[in-house]
Structure 1
Amino acid sequence: MTKLVLISRDFDLSHLAPAILRAAPELEVTLHGREDAADAEVAVCWNPPVGAIAALPKLRLVHSIAAGVDNILTDPSLPGVPVCRVVDPRHARGMSEFVTWGVLHFHRQLDRVISNQRDENWFRPEQRDPSTCSVGVMGLGEIGSRVATDLHRRGFAVRGWARRARDLAGIETFEGSQGLEPFLQGTEILVCLLPLTDETRGILNARTFDALRPGAKLIHVGRGEHLVPGDLLSALNEERISGAIVDVFPNEPLPRGDSFWRAKNMIVTPHMASVASPDTIGLQVAENVRRLVKGEALHNVVDVAQGY
């Protein structure tokens, strides 16, 4: 019987055990910290404590419960075993829905309407055609491409930036370090959907904000570590950025008393843009464990050198 251990530093993953067992009743599932976890062959993780994975002598596979694996790869003691992630087509749809809401929130000036309501100020903002609103999507992988394409279909002027060249119908694309500044200079609403790598860590910084159109907006749904918090707070206070929706943070859950809770013209959401369902996670983990046992090729294997 193959044993899996659920490991997380910050979150209770015990709710995933029934979903995994429904998909594969032959497996055994335990939790990090229990005495019987030491002989687990598979670690199913989200933000595991440093060293927790390396402490498993029989380990054969590490499996993220989400599309992101940066919270696993940052562990310098990570053993040289395959790392897999969850890929859920509904995850891309959910992310697209969330970003579309954010873009419409800013495009239709609902941020201003909400502020006016608090001031009892009746003012009808101008309704602009979406083609006059430039939305820039950072990151054109599976999810970023879906988001960019859906916004284009709604009539927005969409541009995208990625590490390597991409070809998306109707969307102006930029690539590499040489393309970043031209991409930013033409962007009115910036959407971050990048993977977290050494190159993208801290990319949402003062230099990036200064390169945007004056009064630009930010929708951050990438990784918390993309953001330099102090730089965003300064940009909001100085109105170089006139509004932000931030769903991911360097430290989660966002602590009470954090400056972001009361930041000017900012909406804080609790890492809710899109989440794979427990059943989807259970099915994909179970399938990969079965493949591991049979010696078959695994699904959604991460290129550890690339970080995704």
Structure 2
Amino acid sequence: MLSEEPEEQLPKENGQKAMDRADRRLSRRERESRLLVKRSEDYDVFDNVFDVPTLMIINDLKDDGVIHQIRGSLAAGKESKVYTAIAPDGTLRILKIYLTVSAEFKKRLQYIAGDPRFSDIKPGSRSLIAAWARKEFKNMLAARAAGVRVPRPIAVKKNVLVMEFVGDSEGNAVRPLIESKVTSGDYRQVIEQVTILYQKARLVHADLSEYNIFKTDSGIMLFDFGSAVDVQHPNSKQFLVRDVMNVNRFFEKRGIEVLDAVQAVEKIKGENK
């Protein structure tokens, strides 16, 4: 679900001592929340994900009836970690937690600068990360309203974004294109989805690749909208060209015939009529 490539797993500590150390780090509030999946791999990343402010947000989401329990880890990247969660009605949801300790967000200012929706950002990494989560949520709402196939955004609070789970009833998530067999029809669908995004939602994805385009039963679906910018953004054309080149490069490697990049951009913008 993420465009970021998975991080290397941290080395595991062995034995009961490691578990005891992890348990001692949990505050009473954290233990009472009973939301964490107590598996060794979760303890390894505990300090990077579930700090006290994030745990308080998760508790708020639980109190609001958005989620009931975190089920387990789904994906990890430099900027965020993704978990499956169970809703109060038993359905699955996705919990995307942006890492408050990540330095990667400083590189993302170019995607927020100039966007009037986020002119109130205060100095500091937490404010930037909260704005990024809010930006992704709003972009997903706009894309979905325009008819783009994206996961349904459900809630956002500070550095935590909740969206619908896309996968089977066993909790197996849909796979990105990088892990799927692709056809020329898939390529056409990607161009169609990007065209709808541009012409109807007035957005450019700006981070599109085979890692955040997914093949579902209902067709191609786009994920990861944190970088998406309005078409009036000064760098929107540059971002669109990069998106097209990323998509073309992937499909060409798979032996699929693609449009010329210039032609594809014109088609997406509606300039080749």
What is the TM-score with the length of structure 1 in the denominator? Answer: 0.26
What is the TM-score with the length of structure 2 in the denominator? Answer: 0.28
